Chain A
Amino acid sequence: MSASLAERARSGDRRALARLLTEVENRTTAGEQALRALYPLAGRAHLVGVTGAPGSGKSTLVAALTGKARAAGRAVAVIAIDPSSPITGGAILGDRVRMQIHATDSDVFIRSMASRGHAGGLAASTVAAAAVMDAAGFGLIFIETVGTGQSEVEVAAIADTTVVVQAPDMGDEVQAIKAGLLEVADIVVVNKSDRPGADRAAAQLRAMLTVGAHSDRAAGDRPRPKRPEVLLASALTGAGVPELLGALDRREAVHRAAGADGGDAALKRAEAQISGILAQRVAAQLREPARAAQRATTLAAVAAHEIDPFSAADRLLELLRADRAED
């Protein structure tokens, strides 16, 4: 049944695509089977991560970019993530509010996702959802993170291009040289450029973010800081949006030129996906009834400080290995 769901999603059935995304999000067996079928067909889309503080204008900017990309004839998908309540598990997914102008365009597909306890600014199934949209033929996919602070950098590990959105009044030059979010940006956008102070903020960011890039003579093999482009835009008036889309198009061209393996971004994404699935598989195996007693004993021993968590993890891994050897 799910094979046909994947097939229908591929052939443009939006209802099937939506339903499939639910299966993937809920990590069902049907979702996993569909992903196995679709994964070889993905890898063609440009995945653009959009991140930044709450209220910096990410959703409005994504809506404006989507409008320009549609005018250029591209099919656009958006995954917009908002946080789940750590108390009740509920969530308010409000990013569509800024994007409703595209609601009835059949070549725009917007999907909200709750983070469901996943830290780092994304949901656990975000990459998988993007792969489904990719296989369904969307060539440009925006992944909008939850409103982030200084260090939710996970999106950079899964996107081809990472855009960090800043509002004009986000702080002084010291903020611009702090480690974290700004370091992973390929493009920094000072949004709300219609407001006072935007030019100055952009100038400060440019000055500070290019400092390291010119003084890395002794870096050797150490990873070097990126040299992000700093652009001004106003999602409200549309100023600077075509230039931003142009910058994204150039990045996409570079990726295409990097070849079929997609280069570093694709490798990083593969690693992020596999490590997530590995952790999930190990946890699932440990939850199996046959291991429940061992697991409970080990947890209790750590809680009582009788053994340390490292030894506990080693013990549980050894348990899985021993069971495998018996099979």
Chain B
Amino acid sequence: MTDRPLKVLIAKPGLDGHDRGAKVLARGLRDEGFEVIYTGLRQTPEMVVSAALQEDVDVVGLSILSGAHMTLLPKICAGLREQGMDDVLVTAGGIIPDDDIPALEQAGVSRVFGPGTTIREVAEFIRANVKRREV
């Protein structure tokens, strides 16, 4: 595989309207050399899965502050698997209680980043954990 930029989808599933964090992260990852596709607010799990599929991304980053993460995030992970995209790295960030993290990891989220996480940490996690994909 050639040395190509990694593609990251930053999506905001659910109904909260606060996307400053998602935009700051998108901008930060841009500066780290990633190609970042931003979907905007109020995405259903189906929309997120479809965007990830069409864009053939390496990583899906989900920003959620509404509290609906236990419903929406597992649906997105399941949807990605259904489409044969189990090689896509899924991460999450926002307001997610520690108690919920094991269940989310069980569902397929590789890492939950809490408030205070630096962009550098996210970038390094992605580089270290992204899967080499075969055609």
Query: Using Cβ atoms and an 8 Å threshold, which residues of chain A touch B26?
Result: 92
Which chain B residues in 34-89 approach chain A with CB under 8 Å? 34-40, 43-44, 46-47, 50-51, 53-56, 83-85
Query: Using Cβ atoms and an 8 Å threshold, which residues of chain B touch A111?
Result: 54-55
Q: Would you call A90 and B5 a contact (CB within 8 A)?
A: yes
Q: Would you call A26 and B85 a contact (CB within 8 A)?
A: no
Within the assembled complex, what's the spacing in Å between the Cα atoms of A94 and B135?
26
B129 at the interface (CB under 8 A from A): no
Closest A residue to B4 using CB positions: A26
How extensive is the interface on chain B, given as a class?
20 to 34
> How many residue pairs bridge A and B at CB < 8 Å?
95
Residue from B5, B37, B55, B83 whose CB has the most chain A CB atoms within 10 Å? B37
Which chain A residues in 81-100 approach chain B with CB under 8 Å? 84-85, 88-94, 96-97, 100
Q: Would you call A93 and B37 a contact (CB within 8 A)?
A: yes
Partner of A15, one of B32, B38, B83: B83
Q: Would you call B53 and A94 a contact (CB within 8 A)?
A: no
Query: Using Cβ atoms and an 8 Å threshold, which residues of chain A touch B46?
Result: 103-104
Closest A residue to B52 using CB positions: A18
Whether A88 touches B31, Cβ cut-off 8 Å, given contacts A96-B51, A111-B54, is: yes
Query: Using Cβ atoms and an 8 Å threshold, which residues of chain B touch A116?
Result: 5
Which chain A residues in 263-307 approach chain B with CB under 8 Å? none
Q: Would you call A14 and B53 a contact (CB within 8 A)?
A: yes
Query: Using Cβ atoms and an 8 Å threshold, which residues of chain B touch A91?
Result: 5, 30, 35-36
Q: What's the minimum C-beta distance from B47 to chain A, rounded to whole angstroms?
A: 4
Partner of A100, one of B30, B34, B39, B135: B39
Query: Using Cβ atoms and an 8 Å threshold, which residues of chain A touch B85?
Result: 15
Closest B residue to A109 using CB positions: B54
Within the assembled complex, what's the spacing in Å between the Cα atoms of A15 and B36?
19
B95 at the interface (CB under 8 A from A): no
Whether A112 touches B37, Cβ cut-off 8 Å, given contacts A15-B85, A23-B135, A92-B30, is: yes
Contact mask for chain A residues 34-60; partner B; CB cutoff 8 A; 1 contact, 0 none: 000000000000000000000000000
13 pairs from A and B in contact (CB 8 Å cutoff): A14-B53, A21-B56, A27-B2, A28-B1, A28-B2, A85-B33, A90-B5, A90-B35, A92-B27, A96-B55, A100-B43, A103-B39, A103-B51
Chain B residues engaging chain A, CB cutoff 8 angstroms: 1-2, 4-5, 26-27, 29-40, 43-44, 46-47, 50-51, 53-56, 83-85, 135
The 3 closest A-B pairs by CB, nearest first: A97-B40, A90-B30, A18-B56
Chain A residues engaging chain B, CB cutoff 8 angstroms: 1-2, 5, 14-15, 18-19, 21-23, 26-28, 30, 84-85, 88-94, 96-97, 100, 103-104, 109-112, 114, 116
